[in-house]
Structure 1
Amino acid sequence: MSATFVTPGSTVESRSQALRVMVVDDSAVIRGLISRWIEAETDMTVVASLRTGREAVDHVERFDPHVAVLDIEMPDLDGISALPLLLAKKRDLVVVMASTLTRRNAEISFRALSLGAADYIPKPESAREVAAAETFRRDLIQKIRHLGARRIGMRSPVQSPSLVPAQSPVPAPASNALPKALQHAVAAPLRLRPFTAAVPRVLTIGSSTGGPQALMTLVAEIGPVIDRFPVLITQHMPPTFTTILAEHLTRASKRPAQEAVDGEAVRAGRIYVAPGGKHMLVARRGTEIVIVLDDGPQVNFCKPAVDPLFQSAVGVWQNGVIATVLTGMGADGMRGGKDVVAAGGNVIAQDEATSVVWGMPGAAAHAGICAAILPLAQIGPKLVRLFAGDRR
């Protein structure tokens, strides 16, 4: 059987507040696994399980999903060809592209982001590997949950009340005002720290979900910073994908960007990208500052992770670190950001409105470590001013 259709009104009526997910993959085994994982969650349900992009395009209006998990390689109509057709029929559909770790699929995934896909997820090579890949399952479910919550107008699990004076707290909404599966505690009002007088010496950036698009925008605007200071980026990405990311950053910034190499000297004028599967740190060796690639365990369920970069940068540049936390799930970068602030450096976070997921920047914001919480379009100009000597 090529597809499984969930009859509208059966499962969905009993779980009316659940995220509606359409799974599209030519492997019946993988469709079944992903569908079982989704159905095991209380806040989401599978409304259709389809074999080809053509079936997805033909049935997307009938099943009205919030989220589609779309394989790239399928017969009849592949994922990259189906993507614009799906979005033409349902503009607010959240599409997560799924692909194996090949250079071709990494390139296609980046192209899909430019065509309107919300995110991508690397898929293990075989059905057996998929079944055993707990990381794949966890990441997929989290992407569906966070991106889907934003799609239906709910806040991400880290909420962001308006920036208001600390003495004027925002009252928490009644819990029954939110769908049960997406109720989250409202955190305390946000506080901003003043920028310190420390002279910036390095820019470190952390990002995850939505990060590739945000990074392209940011590096295109900070040429004067790149020319005079090292820029180090950790984006949650697997091998091969980080290679492609560095190539795209080179084109966007018109400056050299590359996957970092263990032991290489850190210089101004270059962008260093943490390679997939390794944590990127920095260390002082004699008179030089060098890259250190760490093959240790995951940090915050991630490898590469942002916290090790921020923390190691403090050890080298002390109060000269400016850490920028962009869109992404989870709280990676928050602990490292605390170390940056404790050393006298500064942290900037992307705001909720322009983040695909306000997890990582939201965690930093709620931790009270940010000197600024800005829309993406304002972060680049702010960094240029800071590195030029403006401390406001």
Structure 2
Amino acid sequence: MAFAQRNVSAGVNTGADPIKVMVVDDAVVIRGLLTRWLGEDKDLKVVSSQRNGKLAVEDIEKSNPDVVVLDIEMPEMDGLTALPLMLAKKRNLVVIMASTLTRRNAEISLKALSLGASDYVPKPESTSEVTTSIDFRRELVDKVKALGARAVRMRTPVRTMRAETRAGRTAQPTTRPASAAARPAVDTRASFRGAGQQAGAGGKFQLRPYASVRPRILAIGSSTGGPQALQEVMKEVGTAMNDVPVVITQHMPPTFTAILAEHMGKAALRPSKEGEDGEELKAGNIYVAPGGKHMTLEKEGGSVKIRLNDGPPVNFCKPAVDPLFDSVSKVYGSACLGIILTGMGSDGAGGVRTIAAGGGSVITQDEETSVVWGMPGAAAQTGMCSDVLPLKDIGPKISRVLKGNTR
């Protein structure tokens, strides 16, 4: 596996209701194994196990799962065909695609994300590898819990309001986040969409001023929900990227990152590829950290070059955001703009501190629009970000900052 996520306490369901899971896989051994792994966790309850997409679609309303772990290649109806049919039956259903690490399956997994799947888990190639892979088991359980916790929270308030109505009490309106323009603090208390990570005192985070110099590089870190978020950001930044290189670390395994880079290029209408060791950065180009390698930057003479290394995972991830951000700050100092988007864990929080210490600026995604508010929540809690924004506002803000306008 390219990375093994841990530290997902933000996604753990601590309420009384377990997260209800459906497992869909045509291989009886794999289906039984996943069912057993998930069933052994006290926060999870497997409510259905199906051998193909057709049976799964037919069972959605009866079993009413919060999360579906959906295989791609199955007889009668494959996962990609079943996905929109499932979502049509249950709008807030969380679907996690499960596929082996082939280019075709990676393409299908990323397409599934654009069709409404929440995430994916790459399966080892063979049944024997699946049964012995500790990383695969951990990633599967962690993602089901993190994404499923959001689904449980989304249905919990309905029961609470009904109970209060029966008791003769009036339900209070939900508190929504205050505008990020309010300085010096931003209120990020909001919906049930995030990972449930607790905010600082009063739910407010300190914000620091943007750097006074225009950025000469844009560095982005993301994980769960990242491919969709990255696409939206890349589309919105537009021509502001013409004068700076863009470097991205998205937690993904090999093969997936190459396809992600292609998708980023199509979204941004500019050159985009996996970074290569020794490659010189060029303005207007996008470079994605390849799965299974850490990507950093290094100044060499009058140019800046990419360095790849095969060191141990950082924050249980490889590639990791912290090494990239640390190196970006070292090379560019205050002329650095960092972005933390949706994702599990806390990778990137250390790099945010490094960028801030070097005089650079950081924008992080808010809780309400994050698929999982682990990484951006940890970044916000450092008190070193210049803005905590909804996803739709991040691209336009980046565009303005890259042009020298921080308002």
TM-score by length of 1: 0.88
The aligned counterpart of 1:31 is 31
Q: Deviations over 1:139-197 (max 9, x none)?
A: 11121111111122269xxxx99559999999x9xxxxx9xxx9865532211112121
Equivalent of residue 368 in structure 2, options 353, 366, 387: 353
Cα separation, 2, equivalents of 1:280 and 1:83: 34
Q: Contact 1:207–1:325 at 8 Å: present in 2 too?
A: yes
Over 3 Å counting, the alpha-carbon distance change for 1:276 and 1:183 in structure 2 is closer
1:33-112 aligned within 5 A: 33-112=33-112
The aligned counterpart of 1:6 is none
Cα separation, 2, equivalents of 1:138 and 1:193: 36
The aligned counterpart of 1:213 is 228
Note the C-alpha offset of 1:199.
2.8
Q: Contact 1:199–1:389 at 8 Å: present in 2 too?
A: yes
The aligned counterpart of 2:153 is 153
Q: Contact 1:225–1:384 at 8 Å: present in 2 too?
A: yes
Cα separation, 1, equivalents of 2:226 and 2:185: 33
Q: Contact 2:329–2:354 at 8 Å: present in 1 too?
A: yes
Equivalent residue letter for 2:214:
V
Over 3 Å counting, the alpha-carbon distance change for 1:184 and 1:230 in structure 2 is closer
Equivalent of residue 354 in structure 2, options 330, 335, 339: 339
- Where 1:23 maps in the other structure, the secondary structure is strand
Deviating more after overlay: 34-43 vs 269-278: 34-43
The aligned counterpart of 2:168 is none
- Where 2:344 maps in the other structure, the secondary structure is coil
The aligned counterpart of 1:187 is 200
- Where 1:362 maps in the other structure, the secondary structure is helix
Equivalent residue letter for 2:297:
V
Over 3 Å counting, the alpha-carbon distance change for 1:266 and 1:183 in structure 2 is closer
Over 3 Å counting, the alpha-carbon distance change for 1:185 and 1:201 in structure 2 is closer
Q: Deviations over 1:75-121 (max 9, x none)?
A: 11111111111112222211000000111101111111111111111
Q: Deviations over 1:274-330 (max 9, x none)?
A: 011111100012222100011111111111111110001111111111100001111
- Where 1:76 maps in the other structure, the secondary structure is coil
Cα separation, 2, equivalents of 1:82 and 1:35: 20
Equivalent residue letter for 2:228:
Q
Matched, 1:379 2:404: no
Equivalent residue letter for 1:54:
K
**Moved runs in structure 1, 4+ residues, more than 2 A?**
152-155, 160-170, 182-189
Note the C-alpha offset of 1:209.
0.7
Cα separation, 1, equivalents of 2:198 and 2:133: 31
The aligned counterpart of 1:143 is 143
- Where 1:272 maps in the other structure, the secondary structure is strand
Q: Contact 1:226–1:271 at 8 Å: present in 2 too?
A: no
Q: Contact 2:17–2:152 at 8 Å: present in 1 too?
A: no
Equivalent residue letter for 2:148:
G
The aligned counterpart of 2:213 is 198
Cα separation, 2, equivalents of 1:151 and 1:81: 23
Matched, 1:280 2:295: yes
Note the C-alpha offset of 1:16.
5.9
- Where 1:298 maps in the other structure, the secondary structure is coil
Over 3 Å counting, the alpha-carbon distance change for 1:337 and 1:115 in structure 2 is same
Q: Identity over the aligned pairs, expressed in percent?
A: 55
Note the C-alpha offset of 1:249.
0.9
**Backbone CA RMSD of aligned residues:** 2.4
Q: Contact 1:229–1:268 at 8 Å: present in 2 too?
A: yes
Cα separation, 2, equivalents of 1:365 and 1:143: 22
Matched, 1:227 2:242: yes
The aligned counterpart of 2:165 is none
How many residues end up aligned between the 2 structures?
365
Equivalent of residue 255 in structure 1, options 270, 279, 284: 270
Cα separation, 1, equivalents of 2:317 and 2:18: 27
The aligned counterpart of 1:364 is 379
Q: Contact 1:163–1:190 at 8 Å: present in 2 too?
A: no
Q: Contact 1:352–1:358 at 8 Å: present in 2 too?
A: yes
Note the C-alpha offset of 1:375.
0.9
Cα separation, 2, equivalents of 1:373 and 1:186: 12
Deviating more after overlay: 184-193 vs 302-311: 184-193
The aligned counterpart of 2:341 is 326
TM-score by length of 2: 0.85
- Where 2:283 maps in the other structure, the secondary structure is coil
Equivalent residue letter for 2:229:
A
Over 3 Å counting, the alpha-carbon distance change for 1:112 and 1:167 in structure 2 is closer
- Where 2:121 maps in the other structure, the secondary structure is strand
Q: Contact 1:200–1:387 at 8 Å: present in 2 too?
A: yes
Note the C-alpha offset of 1:251.
0.9
Cα separation, 1, equivalents of 2:209 and 2:338: 15
Q: Contact 1:163–1:191 at 8 Å: present in 2 too?
A: no
The aligned counterpart of 2:6 is none
- Where 2:48 maps in the other structure, the secondary structure is strand
Give structure 1 stretches of 5+ with no counterpart. Answer: 1-14, 173-177
Over 3 Å counting, the alpha-carbon distance change for 1:267 and 1:167 in structure 2 is closer
- Where 1:46 maps in the other structure, the secondary structure is strand
